[in-house]
Amino acid sequence: MAKKSVRTAAKPAAADGKAASLADLLLAAGPAEIEAIDAKLAEVQERIEQLEGERRKLQQARKVINFRLIRTGGKRASPTERRDTIYQFLAEHGPASMTEIARATEIPIGSVTKLLDHEWFAKETARDWAIATAGSRQ
């Protein structure tokens, strides 16, 4: 894609020989400048679309890699391994909501809900879960 530069009108000189103000330049601008601006806007829009496409590809690649990382030995991580991941997260970060746990550990929210139903964990507040003080981690 060839780059087009935005052309501006020749700077009219003021009576005293100083460069014209932006307002003077805008008043002197015509169809050629509009065309140049439109061309530049089209280039910017095309670049935005390219970047959005790249962003979507990177997000998909991240999902694939995360899925692979939660697998062990060619099998999905066991519930115990996932529960251990949640335990480690709560030990490091303190009480958190199921949504926060799911986002941080990248374990699906439905799995988090099931995994928290265990003696290792207890509801701390209406929304937050924590490590149960009575539950032993074995």
81 and 64 together in one domain: no
30 and 53 together in one domain: yes
Instruction: Spell out the alpha helix ranges (H) of 5-134.
Output: 22-28, 31-69, 79-93, 98-105, 109-116
Using only C-alpha atoms, the chain has a radius of gyration, in whole angstroms, of 29
Residue 57, C-beta contacts closer than 8 angstroms, at least 6 positions apart: none
Residue where one domain finishes, among candidates 13, 47, 68: 68
Reading the chain (138 residues) residue by residue, the pLDDT tens digits are 454 444 444 545 555 556 678 888 888 889 998 899 999 999 999 999 999 999 999 988 877 776 666 654 556 678 888 999 999 999 999 999 999 999 998 899 999 999 999 999 999 999 999 999 855 555
pLDDT at site 6: 46
Question: Which domain covers residue 123, as residue numbers?
Answer: 77-131
Judge whether 122 lies within some domain.
yes
Judge whether 110 lies within some domain.
yes
109 and 127 together in one domain: yes
Residue with tokens 């964990």: 121
Residue 136, C-beta contacts closer than 8 angstroms, at least 6 positions apart: 119, 120
